[in-house]
Amino acid sequence: MTDLPVITHWIDGAPFDGTSTRSAPVFNPALGAVAKHVRLAGAVDVDTAVASAQAAYPGWRDTSQARRQGVMFTFRELLNARKGELADILTAEHGKVTADALGEIARGLEVVEFALGMPHLTKGEYSENVSTGVDVYTLRQPLGVVGIISPFNFPAMVPLWFFPIAIAAGNTVVLKPSEKDPSASNWMAALMTEAGLPAGVLNVVHGDKEAVDALLVHPDVQAISFVGSTPIAKYIYETAAHHGKRVQALGGAKNHMLVLPDADLDLAADAAVNAGFGSAGERCMAISVVVAVEPVADELVAKITERLKGLRVGDGMRGCDMGPLITKAHRDKVASYIDVARTDGAEVVVDGRGIEVDGDASGFWLGPTLFDRVGTDSDVYLDEIFGPVLSIVRVGSYTEGLTLINRSRYGNGTAIFTNDGGAARRFQNEVQVGMVGINVPIPVPVAYHSFGGWKDSLFGDAKAYGPAGIAFYTREKAITSRWLDPSHGGINLGFPQNA
């Protein structure tokens, strides 16, 4: 490694170098240059993190709910007060513009605030006198050590979807963030420590597949939460489940936005641009396909094209609308779909290559890109491109558009734009997708509902945060209790009966 800063792990409440000598570069995507290095954990380092979490678990599990809530309240206040620091970290390592970074943190804060209600959310039920002198009641108890594996595109929000709920419920955590933008996780772990979290309750290990695999098979890890691409989500689910763990594995997407002829096309065009190009399209809830029901496609394409002319692409610290992509390799892969589109007969309306940017020429830039008349057999339509590329598919009717969406292997998010309440109601009933927007392009549920898709967008039964998150990070115990009157006694070997 060079003289650049080195990001270490965070174990047992403090920075931890680990034993592995492997490392990876961390880029500033707006400069196209290595800004830091991050240590990559080996299996021994993962063992150390899990051991720390395992040792901390009994004490944290038995800590009063009042004390646990006090830590979470303090963390919420610290995070809200210092969110600007975290936003700068996100912009420097991911590339997203400052406004988008602050929006990401705000959505994560919602989950922290949801977790503040944990004493109410984990209350059990009580049935008195189910039989003479017999009561039955239920408890919701934590699991133990849980693992979280989070992606590069939301280095603050996705960890915040998971660890506040897990910790508030009494679990301890080992978090493995993306090695592409790892600093946010260390920053949040340090903030949790400042808020009073005991050492070992939240640990961060950085790494690649070696660290992931070590978590998936570790006998002391009770559950795994994951967000990422579909192939990896499937691998995570199959491997962790095979080793007896609970798994919530959220995968990829190809989100469609159906625009009916009666829609407000200005609203639809604004939505398509916002949802397609925010965060440079590196969102699992980005709209990547606009399904235009004729005869509105020409007008809609014109309106989207006009809006793209006004977008300012550049360094996220400079108040631009859209920043760079995460790495050069990813930028080049996304850009390659422009040639694929032409080869497959689509019309390249806006080519994002070679644009003028407000930033260093070496940054990983690709401007907003728009394709029209995309064929549904093209890789442009079929693949999750995960970049600032929006495709227009033209259809002749609502039914044709619905069939197209339902035929997709993905089922993460979708939206319909219409002024017809009957059509909207029919769509929400018939579409085979887990999250649906009606005149809302990115239908991410608020924190007290749960996030997750259908089909190849979710493996396992557990969605993220909300009621599903509470159920995932706790397990129910039913207790049947009888306190005998001192005068009562005797032996009865018959099968117990209600009386």
Kindly report, residue by residue over 472-481, the tens digit of the pLDDT: 999 999 999 9
pLDDT tens digits, one per residue of 253-311: 999 999 999 999 999 999 999 999 999 999 999 999 999 999 999 999 999 999 999 99
Predicted pLDDT of residue 386: 97
Predicted pLDDT of residue 484: 81
Predicted pLDDT of residue 384: 97
pLDDT surpasses 60 at 434: yes
The count of C-alpha atoms lying within 13 angstroms of the C-alpha of 408, restricted to the half-sphere facing its C-beta, is: 34
pLDDT surpasses 80 at 495: no
Close Cβ partners of 119 (under 8 Å, ≥ 6 residues apart) = 65, 69
The token duo for 498 is: 């209600």
Predicted pLDDT of residue 491: 73
Q: Look at residue 349 and give its three-state secondary structure.
A: strand
Strands (E), 363-427: 369-372, 389-395, 410-411, 413-417
Predicted pLDDT of residue 492: 72
Predicted pLDDT of residue 493: 77
pLDDT surpasses 80 at 212: yes
Predicted pLDDT of residue 496: 67
Contact 258, 414 (CB under 8 A): yes
Predicted pLDDT of residue 60: 98
pLDDT tens digits, one per residue of 215-241: 999 999 999 999 999 999 999 999 999
pLDDT tens digits, one per residue of 5-63: 999 999 999 999 999 999 999 999 999 999 999 999 999 999 999 999 999 999 999 99
CA dist list (Å): 377 to 6, 256, 340, 346? 45, 15, 12, 11
The token duo for 302 is: 């014109």
Predicted pLDDT of residue 2: 65
Q: With b meaning 16 or more CB within 10 Å and e meaning fewer, what string describes 151-165?
A: bbbbbbbbbbbbbbb
pLDDT surpasses 90 at 497: no
Average pLDDT of the residues in 446-472 = 96
Predicted pLDDT of residue 487: 64
pLDDT surpasses 60 at 1: no
pLDDT tens digits, one per residue of 172-187: 999 999 999 999 999 9
pLDDT surpasses 70 at 351: yes
Give percent of the chain with pLDDT exceeding 70: 98
Confidence at 494, pLDDT banded by 50, 70, 90: confident
Neighbours of 394 (CB within 10 A): 20
Average pLDDT of the residues in 149-156 = 98
pLDDT surpasses 60 at 401: yes
Alpha-carbon torsion, ordered 12, 14, 20, 24, to 10 deg: 130
pLDDT surpasses 60 at 193: yes
Confidence at 485, pLDDT banded by 50, 70, 90: confident
Strands (E), 384-469: 389-395, 410-411, 413-417, 435-438, 454-455, 458-459
Predicted pLDDT of residue 4: 95
Active site (catalytic) residues: 284
pLDDT surpasses 90 at 332: yes
Average pLDDT of the residues in 427-435 = 98
| Distance linking the first and last C-alpha atoms of the chain | 75
Q: How much is the mean pLDDT over the chain?
A: 96
CA distance 89 to 156: 10
Average pLDDT of the residues in 405-430 = 98
CA distance 388 to 104: 18
pLDDT surpasses 90 at 489: no
